[in-house]
Amino acid sequence: MLPDRRVALITGAARGIGAAIAGRLARDGACVAVADLDEAEAAREAERIATAGRSAFPVGLDVANPASARAAVAAVLEREGQLDILVNNAGIAGLASPVAEYPEDEWRRILAIDLDGVFYCCKAVLPHMLERGSGRIVNIASISGKEGNPNMAAYSSAIAGVHFQHRSHLRHLGGSGYVLKLPSSTRSGGRRAYGGCTRAWRTWMASRSTRSRLMSC
């Protein structure tokens, strides 16, 4: 259980890892903002959490749009008066394809969501957290950003950027509680995300990825 009342904003929380994080934080006593591009599914997920007697509400959010990130943070602050935890989880693997055939607009779309989105959401919450003198930001990354997946240059590049954006924020903010968690592939998400890679590569990646590895940098 969390020591006192905390408000958490989880991006991409309508399903998958984000929904699991939202559910867990709510069980631990946090009030969770279930933020997602898919507003209908975010509303259903928030309702599922609330039906179990926890505190949750949906927020529409496109992490690739800085105005949307600011509006989502403002909506949480207007409703709850505080924001203690940001989990930057929203992300897409996008198309898996050889680089010579890779569409430029797909490259940009993946970078915008996976890399720019982390920056926009951090930028939107930090004034509030710095003013209060406390806050936690968790950036969900992937081993793909350390190893580089074949045929997934955009995703691997974006996630590598998240690793180093995280380090940069950490150094600037003086180690005020940032953690970067690198989950190993989930059964469903892994198949969806890494379907363009060979089985041998997926097996090798799994061998490189420890569940719930914590990288302190």
Kindly report the backbone phi and psi dihedral angles of residue 97, in degrees, each rounded to the nearest multiple of 5, phi listed first. Answer: -160, 150
Shortest distance in whole angstroms from residue 186 CB to ligand NAD: 4
Shortest distance in whole angstroms from residue 3 CB to ligand NAD: 27
The residue (of 29 and 50) whose beta carbon lies closer to ligand NAD is: 50
Cα-Cα-Cα-Cα dihedral sign, residues 95, 179, 61, 183: positive
The residue (of 29 and 196) whose beta carbon lies closer to ligand NAD is: 196
Cα–Cα distance for residue pair 34/42, rounded to 1 Å: 6
The residue (of 16 and 133) whose beta carbon lies closer to ligand NAD is: 16
Q: Token pair of 102, please?
A: 């890779």
Given a contact cutoff of 8 angstroms between Cβ atoms, the answer to whether 158 and 145 are in contact is yes
Shortest distance in whole angstroms from residue 181 CB to ligand NAD: 9
Name the 3-class secondary structure at 1. Answer: coil
Cβ within 8 Å of residue 104, ≥6 positions away = none
Burial class (CB in 10 A: 0-12, 13-18, 19+), 81: exposed
The residue (of 29 and 179) whose beta carbon lies closer to ligand NAD is: 179
- CA 108 to chain centroid, in Å, comes to 18
Shortest distance in whole angstroms from residue 170 CB to ligand NAD: 19
Which is the catalytic residue, given 102, 155, 178, 194?
155
Cα–Cα distance for residue pair 25/13, rounded to 1 Å: 12
Instruction: Examine the residue annotation and report whether 194 is marked as an active-site residue of this protein.
Output: no
Query: Which residues of this protein are in contact with ligand NAD, per CB under 6 A?
Result: 11-12, 14-18, 36-38, 61-64, 89-92, 113, 140, 142, 183, 185-186, 189-190, 193
The residue (of 15 and 44) whose beta carbon lies closer to ligand NAD is: 15
Shortest distance in whole angstroms from residue 205 CB to ligand NAD: 9
Most distant CA pair in the chain: distance in Å?
53
Name the 3-class secondary structure at 93. Answer: coil
Catalytic residues: 155
